[in-house]
Amino acid sequence: MRKINKIIVHCSATREGHDVDAKTIREWHLRRGWKDIGYHYIVRLDGTIEPGRMINISGAHTKGYNSESIGICYIGGVEAEKVNNKWVAKDTRTQAQKDSLLILIKLLKLMYKDATIHGHREFANKACPSFDASEEYKNLKLKNNDGIYNNKLACIINCLYGIFKSYNKPNSN
């Protein structure tokens, strides 16, 4: 099993309001010659969390840190229109995306308690993810009654996490 010590948040660098799915990003990455989609999770405009690369496999999202991290990408990250013929970085997260990112990061923190949360820009000369992820999630606290289980997807992921945890325990027989 991989030792995960970072959760790295990215944006797709697609224009505001233009939804893209994991299948499309996978196609982009395959055309670049990659083995698969580089991210482990995609968060769409409506907050839907789509799986990308399996979390037991190193991603292809942050050079030099892929083996020790989980990559999450939200759709968006640039203005709806070009400014001076260039795309301008902008935090375009919808409220649904913000909610889903928070739930997903909390669930990943349950799995990887020592993992720190970062934005891609901390490791590359880029604006990605167009907001300060370290600052936004620096006070993230996990409590039993913090509302994480109000989301059906969160319940399902937590159930799967429980199975995963049980499956990976050494056999005591």
10 is catalytic: yes
How distant is the alpha carbon of residue 30 from its chain centre?
A: 19
Find the catalytic residue in 29, 40, 106, 120.
120
What tokens were used for 82? Answer: 């070009």
65 is catalytic: no
Find the catalytic residue in 6, 11, 29, 39.
39
159 is catalytic: no
Find the catalytic residue in 6, 40, 61, 128.
128
Find the catalytic residue in 6, 10, 61, 90.
10
126 is catalytic: yes
Residues counted in the chain: 173
167 is catalytic: no
The catalytic site residues sit at: 10, 39, 120, 126, 128
